[in-house]
A = this chain, B = another copy of it.
Amino acid sequence: MYYTLLYLFVVTWLCPSNGYVYRTEYFDTKLDNFAFASNETFKLRYLINDTFWNPGRGPIFFYTGNEGDITDFAENTGFMWETAPEFDALVLFAEHRYYGKSLPFGNLSTSEPKYSGYLTASQAMMDYIELLSYIKVKYNATVKEIPVIAFGGSYGGMLAAWIRMKYPSVIAGSLASSAPIWQFTGMTECSAFSRVTTSAYSSVSPECSKRIRDSWSVLTELGKTDAGKAKLNTLLNTCKPLKTDSDVQGVKDYLQTMYVNIAMVNYPYPANFIGNLPANPVKAVCKNMLHTNETNESILSGVYNSLLMYINGTGTAKCFDITNDVEPFGVGGWNIQSCTEMVMPMCNNGETDMFEKSSWDLKKVSDDCFKQYKLRPSVNIIRDLFGGKRISWATNIIFSNGLLDPWSSGGVLHNVSKTAVAVIIPESAHHLDLRAQNENDPTTVRMARKYYKSVFKKWIQDFYSDV
Q: Give residues in A with beta carbon < 8 Å to B.
A: 32-38, 113-120, 122-123, 126, 129-130, 133, 143-144, 166-170, 340, 375, 378, 380, 383-388, 390-393, 395, 466
CB-CB under 8 A for A113 and B466, given A166-B166, A395-B393 = no
B contact residues around A129 at 8 Å (CB): 384-385
Contact between chains at B34 and A169 (CB < 8 Å): no
Report the separation of the CA atoms of residues A397 and B430 in the bound assembly, to the nearest whole angstrom.
39
Contact between chains at B130 and A36 (CB < 8 Å): no
Contact between chains at A133 and B34 (CB < 8 Å): no
Report the separation of the CA atoms of residues A32 and B123 in the bound assembly, to the nearest whole angstrom.
12
Report the separation of the CA atoms of residues A82 and B285 in the bound assembly, to the nearest whole angstrom.
68
| Shortest beta-carbon distance from A353 to chain B in Å | 27
4 closest cross-chain pairs (CB), A and B: A37-B117, A169-B387, A36-B117, A168-B393
B contact residues around A117 at 8 Å (CB): 35-38
CB-CB under 8 A for A35 and B32, given A143-B383, A390-B144 = yes
Contact between chains at B118 and A380 (CB < 8 Å): no
Contact between chains at A35 and B390 (CB < 8 Å): no
Sample 25 A-B pairs with CB under 8 A, ordered by A number.
Answer: A32-B32, A32-B35, A32-B37, A34-B122, A35-B35, A35-B117, A35-B120, A35-B123, A36-B116, A36-B118, A36-B120, A36-B375, A37-B114, A37-B115, A37-B116, A37-B117, A37-B118, A38-B113, A38-B117, A129-B385, A143-B383, A144-B390, A167-B384, A169-B391, A392-B466
B contact residues around A386 at 8 Å (CB): 169
| Shortest beta-carbon distance from A164 to chain B in Å | 9
What is the oligomeric copy number? Answer: 2
Residue of B nearest to A142 (CB): B186
The answer, among B36, B120, B126, for a CB contact under 8 Å with A340, is: B36
CB-CB under 8 A for A168 and B113, given A118-B35, A392-B466, A466-B392 = no
| Shortest beta-carbon distance from A116 to chain B in Å | 7
Residue of B nearest to A168 (CB): B393
Contact between chains at B120 and A34 (CB < 8 Å): yes
The answer, among B123, B167, B390, for a CB contact under 8 Å with A169, is: B390
Contact between chains at B36 and A113 (CB < 8 Å): yes
Residue of B nearest to A30 (CB): B378
Q: A36-B117, A129-B385 are in contact. List 11 more A-B contacts (CB 8 A).
A: A32-B35, A35-B123, A36-B375, A37-B114, A126-B384, A130-B384, A167-B384, A169-B388, A169-B393, A390-B466, A393-B395
Report the separation of the CA atoms of residues A126 and B126 in the bound assembly, to the nearest whole angstrom.
15
